[in-house]
A and B are shown apart, each in its own frame.
Chain A
Amino acid sequence: MTLGCLLGSLLLSVALWAKPAPEPVSILMPAPFADATAELVETFNREHPGIALSVTRGPLETEAVSDLAISSLLLGNSPYDVLLMDVTWTPKYAKAGWLEPLEAWLGADALEDLAPGAELGNAFDGHLWRFPLVADMGLLFWRTDLMEAPPRTPAELEAISQSLQQEGRVRWGYVWEGRQYEGLSCTYLEVLRGFGGSWLRDGSPDLNSNAAIAASQWLRHLVDVGITPPAVANMAEPEALQTFETGDAAFMRNWPYAWAELNRDGSLLAGKVGITTMVSEPQEPHVATQGSWGLSVLSSSQHKQAAVEALQFLTSAAAQKQLNLNWGYTPTRLSVFEDPELIRANPVLPELQAALAAAVLRPVTPIYAQLSDLLYREVNTVITGEVAAAPAMETLQRNSIQLERSTGGIS
């Protein structure tokens, strides 16, 4: 009896020993993405018995995830193999040597299936560092119950806002992200391009141009004339969405996630919201700041082959379709955008595709965080009315040029 037991456990341990332990692959993601991909991870692990894929739920806020990732990378022994990265991190992480170039793993034509706009922001310095999982771009949300068609120029936006406000149908016209943080750079970039300006010209800051001044002046003007509440100077995405979803505003600038929020059961505005791209002066483009999330493999990973397999699985067309159907995440692959089943389920998909095609990148440089910090700080100063647009943009230009010089060039 005892002998049998012993023999049995011996056999069992031999069997366990003979079967290699599955290769662990760990991905760090912001919590909402971790929740959304949980089912996919389960499927992956079932189909790949040799790999044990696990997802760490990171913080909700974009920069807090970056802080966590960077802390682990600086300590030299990161527990993660794959990171879900915001588009603006890529050059910084690549330059720091933390990422594995992906072209050797995925092939040079890896990005070919992507929808126009989604291919942006994944390569830097001639290498592919990231594969986009979820597309994200700035959108102008408008109330279909209050107007026939969305405004296409700043003047139209003002006119519709003011007439709705005068009729007492909304308290505010337009809410957007004006807090001193990255979201303001995204908001400002769209207005800047809509006024014919550009953040960099020939690789150098161009922030004291007439268009750049007019763009920040317009944002302040919206507050001055009461279309935008003064509280905008501390509004991030949640605050803007809050004002809009209570029905207090006619327009909002936000990301695609807000669409799902606004149309969920019990929402005051379900079925009453349309999306389009940002307003622009006649002749100037309507653009959307690109804010996609993508997967990168860390250069320190000991399990790169398995990590790449997980990356390919999670970004596959089938996975993206599931993420869109169940979680409303915007796909990055053209074939998914054109899937008739998805379009039936998500009639807004073609409009998202159009917005993605209008996507523009924030400057692609390892020192983007500094550049953006200078920009949102100064534009926020204009929004609060502390400093007029022209001198503030002069300061911004001077500081940006100084940063460019001290770092030996932006890209």
Chain B
Amino acid sequence: MLRWRQQFWLLLPALGLLTLVFLVPIAHYLWLSTQTQTVLTELRPVPAGAAQWIRLWNDSRFWQDAWQTLRFAGLSVTTEMVLGLAIALLLNEPLRGRSSLRMISLLPWALPTTVMALGWRWIFNDPYGPINQALGWIGVTPIPFLANPSITWISTVWADTWKTTPFVALLLLAGLQNIPRDLYEAAQLEGASAWQSLRHITIPLLTPYLLIALVFRLAQALGVFDLVQVLTGGGPAGSTESLALYAYLNAMRFLDFGYSATVMLGAFTGLLVLCGALALLWWWSSGRQDLAGGGR
């Protein structure tokens, strides 16, 4: 057993790294959010007190983007979890050619987001893209996938789902392979249906993996940037602009660094609250799982 002093020294490099990578930038952002640093101040920081935070609070675009980001993350992550679980269950079965199937299903995830977004921009093209071409053959009028505010956000979810479902499936597949086969055999002997096995064995034992996938995907989806930047540029009518895109616009296009930092921190605060809620859920469910699995 290591003494606490030794433990401290062994932990120090990791702590230092975390401080450098997370705490220092966050502290800098906190400071920046109390400054006005724009092209008009010739990029010199001028103390601004709470002005940026008041501006954020009153900025309807921030709240609209917050809602749009949540909407995007909510629908895409839910779809990805359901589809990912279905694919993982399928790939866990002893199918012929399973390993090549597993590899193929991972391909979308291996593509850089900008590349796949350019691809989807073409697939969604109205009227020359493949989907609308195919619809044309069966006499359906072209769908404005990227030009109608009530449709376009679904198109972004669609593209995101295509890309990241494999990630969820992979995580869940790893989880599935950790569930002992004999549990299913025992259940079968007891006369449990496939649905009952899924409901009472698979899902509970997979919960930690579901939560990991959920946390990873939510964090990524709430920070969505490159996909919308390439696919829609935030349009049409601002309907797909995310918080990350708004922060980027403020920093890189408007050279308004104080406000960009405030937008990012506002989004970060929201993310913390969400992750806190998820962590609570995790804690609660892992407590339950310990009880359930205590006899094993």
Chain B interface residues toward A at CB < 8 A: 38-40, 42-43, 125-128, 142, 144, 146-149, 152, 232-238, 249, 252-256
A-B contact count, CB below 8 Å?
Answer: 101
In the bound assembly, the distance between CA atoms of A229 and B252 in angstroms comes to 32
In the bound assembly, the distance between CA atoms of A213 and B144 in angstroms comes to 25
Chain A residues in 8 Å Cβ range of B128: 242-243, 246
Chain A residues in 8 Å Cβ range of B255: 70, 92, 96, 369
Known: A181-B235, A377-B235. A70 touches B252 (CB 8 A): yes
Chain B residues in 8 Å Cβ range of A370: 253-254, 256
In the bound assembly, the distance between CA atoms of A63 and B234 in angstroms comes to 14
Chain B residues in 8 Å Cβ range of A48: none
Known: A95-B42, A180-B238. A386 touches B149 (CB 8 A): yes
Q: Is A97 an interface residue (CB 8 A)?
A: yes
**Which stretch from A13-21, A29-37, A231-239 is at the chain B interface?**
A231-239
Chain A residues in 8 Å Cβ range of B233: 179-181
* Residue from B40, B42, B144, B149 in contact with A407 in the complex, judged by beta carbons closer than 8 Å: B40
27 examples of A-B residue contacts, CB within 8 angstroms: A66-B252, A66-B253, A92-B39, A95-B40, A229-B126, A230-B144, A231-B146, A231-B147, A232-B147, A233-B147, A234-B126, A234-B147, A234-B232, A234-B235, A370-B253, A370-B254, A370-B256, A373-B253, A373-B254, A377-B235, A380-B235, A380-B238, A381-B236, A381-B238, A386-B149, A386-B237, A387-B237
Whose C-beta in chain A lies nearest to the C-beta of B142? A231
Chain A residues in 8 Å Cβ range of B232: 180, 234
Q: Is A384 an interface residue (CB 8 A)?
A: yes
B266 to chain A, nearest CB (A): 18
In the bound assembly, the distance between CA atoms of A382 and B125 in angstroms comes to 21
Q: Is A367 an interface residue (CB 8 A)?
A: yes
In the bound assembly, the distance between CA atoms of A230 and B141 in angstroms comes to 12
Interface residues as binary, A365-383 with B (CB distance below 8 Å gives 1, 0 otherwise): 0110110010001001101
Whose C-beta in chain B lies nearest to the C-beta of A370? B254
Q: Is A67 an interface residue (CB 8 A)?
A: yes
Q: Are A95 and B253 in touch, CB under 8 angstroms?
A: no
Q: Is A408 an interface residue (CB 8 A)?
A: yes
Chain A residues in 8 Å Cβ range of B142: 231
A65 to chain B, nearest CB (A): 12
Main SS class of interface, A: helix
Known: A233-B144, A234-B147. A381 touches B237 (CB 8 A): yes
Q: Are B236 and A97 in touch, CB under 8 angstroms?
A: no
In the bound assembly, the distance between CA atoms of A373 and B255 in angstroms comes to 13
In the bound assembly, the distance between CA atoms of A71 and B128 in angstroms comes to 36
Whose C-beta in chain B lies nearest to the C-beta of A377? B238
Chain B residues in 8 Å Cβ range of A97: 42-43
Q: Are A369 and B237 in touch, CB under 8 angstroms?
A: no
Task: Please classify how large the interface on chain A is, using the bins under 10, 10 to 19, 20 to 34, 35 or more.
Answer: 35 or more
Q: Are A380 and B127 in touch, CB under 8 angstroms?
A: no
Q: Are A180 and B234 in touch, CB under 8 angstroms?
A: yes
In the bound assembly, the distance between CA atoms of A63 and B254 in angstroms comes to 12
Chain A interface residues toward B at CB < 8 A: 63, 66-67, 70-71, 92, 95-97, 179-181, 229-234, 239, 242-243, 246, 366-367, 369-370, 373, 377, 380-381, 383-384, 386-387, 407-408
Q: Are B144 and A369 in touch, CB under 8 angstroms?
A: no
A379 to chain B, nearest CB (A): 10
In the bound assembly, the distance between CA atoms of A66 and B255 in angstroms comes to 12
* Residue from A63, A179, A373, A384 in contact with B149 in the complex, judged by beta carbons closer than 8 Å: A384
The 7 closest A-B pairs by CB, nearest first: A180-B235, A233-B147, A231-B126, A381-B237, A234-B146, A234-B147, A233-B236
A408 to chain B, nearest CB (A): 7
Whose C-beta in chain A lies nearest to the C-beta of B249? A373
* Residue from B39, B127, B236 in contact with A366 in the complex, judged by beta carbons closer than 8 Å: B39
Q: Are B237 and A384 in touch, CB under 8 angstroms?
A: yes
Q: Are B147 and A230 in touch, CB under 8 angstroms?
A: yes
Whose C-beta in chain B lies nearest to the C-beta of A181? B233
Chain B residues in 8 Å Cβ range of A369: 253-255
Chain B residues in 8 Å Cβ range of A386: 149, 236-237
In the bound assembly, the distance between CA atoms of A66 and B254 in angstroms comes to 11
* Residue from A96, A239, A246, A381 in contact with B42 in the complex, judged by beta carbons closer than 8 Å: A96
Chain A residues in 8 Å Cβ range of B252: 66-67, 70-71
In the bound assembly, the distance between CA atoms of A271 and B125 in angstroms comes to 28
Which among B125, B126, B142, B147 has the greatest number of chain A C-beta atoms within 10 A? B147
Q: Are A180 and B40 in touch, CB under 8 angstroms?
A: no
Known: A95-B42, A377-B237, A384-B149. A231 touches B127 (CB 8 A): yes
